[in-house]
Structure 1
Amino acid sequence: MRSRVVEHDDPTPRSSSATIAADVTAVAQLVLHERHARDRGWWHDMRRSFADDSRVRLSWFQGTGPDFVSASERMAGRGDVSVHRLAPPVVDVNGDRALAVVPAGIEVRTDLDGVEVDLASYARLLYRAERRHDGWRIVALDPVYERDTLSACLPGTPLTVTAAELAGFRRPYRMLSYVLGRRGYTVAQDLYGDDRPDAVRGLEQAATDWLRA
């Protein structure tokens, strides 16, 4: 797990190295437990990760953290489940605020026209967290989509997806958009993705400004 402490204009340290290390660990575990709870269907644990006034904006959902948990539970109830393969998070701490960036691979196994398929979507999950009266809680989650792939589970099985079917979908998450659309979900096409680097830099700068505030 990598971490760094944001520099302050005030030369006086706000907390000891041990306290900072403890906060970095707490925030890293917070975001990892949130993803783990979603994969396992532990909705109560997932809900505890979010502040009531938190905000989530991703492919198929935009709203508060608690509503995201409820929507995830309904999604799983329909049989639409996913698994998140996470890399070590990068955590920045400034007092009672923190940023965590988690590289992730989101894996979905589903059916398209009778063909069992594997969807893999790769993204960086940018979490904002705050220390509240009951501990660290997630206050915002914004993925930055990188790329995705779609393949038949059984090698050699024909899988036809035409360019026309993908028209209008953004390159970093076009397969994700296609599969979720086929499953009845509406996917926003104005999300953060590596095909729009200026928007991504704006998100990162806004998150850094929030952290330093």
Structure 2
Amino acid sequence: MTPEFERRLATLVDREEIFDLARRERFARDLQDFETMRDCFHADAYIRSSWFAGGYADEYVEATRERMKKSATSRHWVFPADLKIVGDRATLESPATIFDRIKLEGVDVDFYVFCRFFSRVVRREGVWRLLSFEVIFEKDVLACVNPEQALPINWDRLANYRPSYRFLGYIQESRGHTVSHDLYGDDRQDSLLAFYARERQWLQQQGVEADRHVEGGPPIEENIQEQPRSATGEFT
């Protein structure tokens, strides 16, 4: 084999391992295979979704375990797409759909969240694992299972929520849960572009000591608004 062929082959192996990692983590979550889910993250991984932010991998997995004791019906379809690898670091962005069937004020509804999952991925001791997990929201959809029924929604109140995760925010807060209004979404390009710039900068760094920091900026935890770590809701 030529050096160029070996390089391309190694890149393909890395790509497949990272794509498989992204799919396996969400599939394990949906099947409540929490040890497999845990093994997909580095211990110091940072996670943020609509209901969780600010913790390490063990904390996130255990919070997910407790949450799914109350509701375990939501599912995730993940399609790994945009991968950038530099040495032992990578960033991965994956279009995704989160979906569930729930009862809202006595009415059966299907709920869909269209989003992208973004992760820092780091290879340590020869193994790729997730170092972060962020959700970038695109839009969400709520529809009655019976089309002859009307959605039990206060449309005036719904208008107060961001279009990228409007129904998600409405449903969660209707149930007494807090949802940050400052999550990443396509409807706020300024903050999203700044996030992408930080991730590109991080990708060019090397060394475990810098894994959770961006050169010239604060740690990733300080780049976002903190949410309650133990918040409980129906959706990721």
TM range (shorter): 0.7 to 0.9
Question: What residue in structure 2 maps to residue 96 of structure 1?
Answer: 88
**Offset at 1:184?**
3.8
Q: How does 1:27-46 map to 2 (within 5 A)?
A: 27-46=18-37
What's the CA shift string for 1:130-149, capped at 9, x where partnerless?
00126111001111100001
Question: What residue in structure 2 maps to residue 20 of structure 1?
Answer: 11
Whether the aligned pair in 2 keeps the contact of 1:97 and 1:131 (CA below 8 Å) is yes
**Aligned partners of 2:151, 2:157: CA distance in 1, in Å?**
13
Match for residue 115 of structure 1 among 76, 100, 107: 107
**Aligned partners of 2:160, 2:44: CA distance in 1, in Å?**
33
Which runs of no fewer than 5 residues in structure 2 stay unpaired? Answer: 206-236
Question: What residue in structure 2 maps to residue 153 of structure 1?
Answer: 145
**Aligned partners of 1:42, 1:89: CA distance in 2, in Å?**
24
**Offset at 1:180?**
2.2
Whether the aligned pair in 2 keeps the contact of 1:98 and 1:128 (CA below 8 Å) is yes
**Offset at 1:20?**
1.6
Q: Percent identity?
A: 33
Moved more, 176-185 or 34-43: 176-185
What's the CA shift string for 1:96-150, capped at 9, x where partnerless?
0011111001102111111111110111111111001261110011111000011
User: Structure 1: which amino acid aligns with 2:33?
Assistant: W
SS class of match (2:26): helix
**Offset at 1:80?**
4.6
**Aligned partners of 2:175, 2:72: CA distance in 1, in Å?**
8
**Aligned partners of 1:61, 1:186: CA distance in 2, in Å?**
10
**Aligned partners of 1:128, 1:27: CA distance in 2, in Å?**
11
Whether the aligned pair in 2 keeps the contact of 1:24 and 1:92 (CA below 8 Å) is no
Q: Whose strand fraction is larger, Structure 1's or Structure 2's?
A: 1
**Aligned partners of 1:80, 1:185: CA distance in 2, in Å?**
17
User: Structure 2: which amino acid aligns with 1:39?
Assistant: D
Question: What residue in structure 2 maps to residue 206 of structure 1?
Answer: 198
**Aligned partners of 1:177, 1:34: CA distance in 2, in Å?**
24
**Aligned partners of 1:177, 1:69: CA distance in 2, in Å?**
22
Question: What residue in structure 2 maps to residue 7 of structure 1?
Answer: none
**Aligned partners of 1:88, 1:185: CA distance in 2, in Å?**
30
SS class of match (2:25): helix
Whether the aligned pair in 1 keeps the contact of 2:105 and 2:152 (CA below 8 Å) is no
**Offset at 1:165?**
2.8
Question: What residue in structure 1 maps to residue 61 of structure 2?
Answer: 69
**Offset at 1:90?**
2.0
Number of residue pairs the alignment of both structures matches: 200
Question: What residue in structure 2 maps to residue 8 of structure 1?
Answer: none
**What is the alpha-carbon root mean square deviation over aligned residues?**
1.7
Whether the aligned pair in 1 keeps the contact of 2:107 and 2:152 (CA below 8 Å) is no
SS class of match (2:59): helix
Whether the aligned pair in 1 keeps the contact of 2:116 and 2:138 (CA below 8 Å) is yes
Does the alignment pair 1:83 with 2:75? Answer: yes
**Aligned partners of 1:180, 1:89: CA distance in 2, in Å?**
29
**Aligned partners of 2:107, 2:48: CA distance in 1, in Å?**
30
Q: Please report the TM-score for the alignment, with normalisation by the length of structure 1.
A: 0.88
Moved more, 61-70 or 40-49: 61-70
SS class of match (2:11): helix
**Aligned partners of 1:65, 1:188: CA distance in 2, in Å?**
21
